[in-house]
């Protein structure tokens, strides 16, 4: 029988490694399960721009309760980050830098998207400056741009360097064991690996993102794991010698997706990201699609700098971002007390990693610590109805999604489109027909605002089959 370890951590993305490092720091014996080397296909961390978006992920339509939780937790992560990087460097022998400064560029007609970002930064005592888009150093923003914010305290890290530093910190620690095989199944206090090895542990922390449901019996329903959805993002590394950016430049979050963003890398390349697509059957081995790369190319040149059209593509990869129906992370014990979650960070995994690690380590060392925390895994999470999602601006978001790269409708036409879309979605989801049944199946699996573009596309495919 395998020897009993204190905690088994399943998953070698940024959250899993951060949890392992935090537990080791607290004197706990840890067995980490997951690949150390290889392509890490589909892993959100290694496809991420690694922006530490304390404020710039906030959106005008976020409800006050959710926005309040997100601001508080992101600020806690922001405040912990410098000491966290110092600790990782001391454990692994090298410190990762976090260059500060982010520009948020508002495309034409979207100056309103800057307001919640600026308001949150000022309320937290952080500096924020309003500028014309032409003030962004190194960027030739379109003349139609609506304005820009300078956030001097919002930083970035190099995700590859951070992952290597975290990995070394775990590998070199005397209380750590690393089984470099994927997990195949998880039970109460046990982890079965694909190579046949079994790990026994007092507690098991699942930090494997979108892969978690497949590791549990009946996709986690018996132990109360809520649905974990996947947002598929594609990123690219560019060679753009005509452009010299010192800081992150991004647009505010677009409809159903993160904003288009450029992140300068230490090797002289530019990281480009900005896509997000709901995927119901997350396949980590699926490579970037041509249309996804085309969206990046078109949006970046149209919304940020036309010179990007002449950039050359060095490589592209996909990342699967885990998220929940209420869009908040999952941390802590499930209905099986020996199984804990640390996941569902959506687009803020690199920023929130030290915060989730602290929370889950608190729960392991002091059971019950997360009983009232808004991230607790067993919190009530009713599925939103279509009216709830429409109230979040889904219909107008769909219009924004369709017109993002330069289309235009008058204000009255926009209002008419939004009203028609709302009525059509309600009618189709209630229709007693094959089309209505297909729409409901999709909606039942993912009743979230990100499903609206998929519903829109499904209607066209259904019509083509008639």
Summarised one tens digit per residue, pLDDT across range 317-334 is 999 999 999 999 999 999
For residue 443, being part of any structural domain is answered with: yes
Domain end marker among 301, 320, 339: 320
pLDDT in tens, 71-127: 999 999 999 999 999 999 999 888 899 999 999 999 988 899 999 999 999 999 999
Q: Do both 422 and 298 map to the same domain?
A: no
Q: Do both 133 and 247 map to the same domain?
A: yes
Contact 307, 242 (CB under 8 A): yes
pLDDT in tens, 256-286: 778 899 999 988 999 999 888 999 888 888 9
Confidence (pLDDT) at 463: 67
Domain end marker among 291, 320, 349: 320
pLDDT in tens, 15-33: 999 999 999 999 999 999 9
* Averaged pLDDT score across all residues of the chain: 92
Q: Do both 253 and 390 map to the same domain?
A: no
For residue 273, being part of any structural domain is answered with: yes
Confidence (pLDDT) at 133: 97
Q: How long is the chain?
A: 466
Contact 186, 339 (CB under 8 A): yes
pLDDT surpasses 90 at 135: yes
Domain end marker among 305, 320, 335: 320
Q: Do both 399 and 287 map to the same domain?
A: no
- Global pTM value: 0.94
pLDDT surpasses 70 at 456: yes
The CATH number that applies at residue 114 is 3.30.9.10
Region 40-54 average pLDDT: 91
For residue 53, being part of any structural domain is answered with: no
Local structure of 86: helix, strand or coil: helix
CA–CA distance, 206 with 215 (Å, rounded to integer) = 9
Burial of 25 (0-12, 13-18, 19+ CB in 10 A): middle
pLDDT in tens, 322-380: 999 999 999 999 999 999 999 999 999 999 999 999 999 999 999 999 999 999 999 99
Q: Do both 287 and 392 map to the same domain?
A: no
For residue 210, being part of any structural domain is answered with: no
CA 350 to chain CA centroid, nearest Å: 9
pLDDT surpasses 80 at 406: no
Confidence (pLDDT) at 235: 95
For residue 36, being part of any structural domain is answered with: no
Contact 278, 231 (CB under 8 A): yes
Residue 130: domain span: 98-154+231-320
Which has the closest alpha carbon to 21: 97, 93, 90, 88?
88
Count of domains forming the chain: 2
For residue 3, being part of any structural domain is answered with: no
Q: Do both 267 and 390 map to the same domain?
A: no
Backbone angles phi, psi at 114, to 5 degrees: -80, -20
For residue 336, being part of any structural domain is answered with: no
Which two three-digit tokens encode residue 403? Answer: 């017109």
Confidence (pLDDT) at 464: 66
């Amino acid at each position: 029988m395998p020897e009993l370890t204190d905690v088994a951590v399943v998953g070698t993305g940024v959250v899993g490694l951060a949890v392992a490092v935090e537990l080791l720091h607290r004197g706990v014996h840890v067995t980490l399960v997951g690949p150390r080397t290889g392509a890490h296909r589909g892993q959100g961390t290694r496809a991420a721009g690694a922006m530490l978006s304390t404020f710039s992920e906030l959106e005008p339509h976020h409800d006050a309760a959710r926005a309040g939780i997100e601001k508080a937790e992101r600020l806690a992560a922001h405040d912990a980050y410098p000491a966290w990087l110092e600790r990782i460097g001391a454990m692994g022998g090298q410190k990762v830098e976090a260059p500060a400064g982010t520009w948020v560029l508002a495309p034409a007609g979207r100056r309103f998207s800057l307001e919640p970002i600026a308001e949150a930064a000022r309320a937290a005592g952080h500096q924020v400056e309003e500028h014309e888009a032409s003030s962004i150093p190194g960027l030739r923003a379109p003349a139609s741009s609506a304005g820009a914010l300078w956030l001097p305290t919002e930083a970035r890290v190099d995700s590859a360097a951070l992952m290597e530093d975290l990995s070394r910190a775990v590998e070199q620690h005397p209380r750590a064991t690393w089984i470099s095989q994927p997990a195949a199944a998880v039970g109460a206090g046990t982890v079965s690996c694909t190579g046949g090895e079994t790990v026994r542990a007092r507690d098991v922390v699942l930090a494997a993102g979108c892969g978690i449901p497949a590791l549990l019996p009946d996709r986690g329903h018996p132990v109360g794991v809520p649905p974990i959805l996947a947002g598929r993002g594609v990123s690219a590394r560019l060679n753009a010698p005509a452009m010299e950016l010192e800081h992150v430049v991004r647009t505010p979050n677009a409809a159903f997706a993160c904003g288009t963003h450029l992140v300068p890398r230490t090797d002289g390349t530019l990281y480009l990201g900005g896509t997000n697509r709901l995927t119901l059957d997350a396949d980590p081995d699926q490579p970037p699609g041509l249309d996804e790369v085309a969206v990046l190319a078109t949006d970046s040149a149209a919304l940020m700098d036309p010179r990007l059209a002449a950039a050359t593509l060095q490589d592209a990869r996909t990342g699967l971002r885990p998220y929940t129906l209420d869009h908040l992370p999952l941390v802590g014990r499930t209905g099986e007390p020996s199984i804990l979650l640390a996941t569902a960070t959506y687009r803020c995994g690199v920023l929130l990693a030290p915060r989730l690690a602290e929370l889950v380590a608190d729960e392991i060392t002091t059971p019950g610590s997360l009983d009232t925390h808004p991230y607790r895994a067993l919190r009530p999470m009713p599925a939103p109805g279509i009216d709830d999602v429409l109230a979040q601006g889904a219909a107008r978001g769909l219009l924004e999604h369709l017109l993002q790269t330069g289309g235009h409708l008058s204000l009255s036409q926009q209002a008419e489109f939004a009203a028609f879309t709302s009525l059509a979605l309600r009618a189709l989801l209630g229709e007693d027909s094959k089309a209505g049944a297909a729409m409901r199946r999709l909606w039942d699996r993912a009743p979230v605002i990100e499903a609206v573009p998929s519903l829109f596309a499904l209607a066209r495919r259904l019509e083509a089959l008639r």
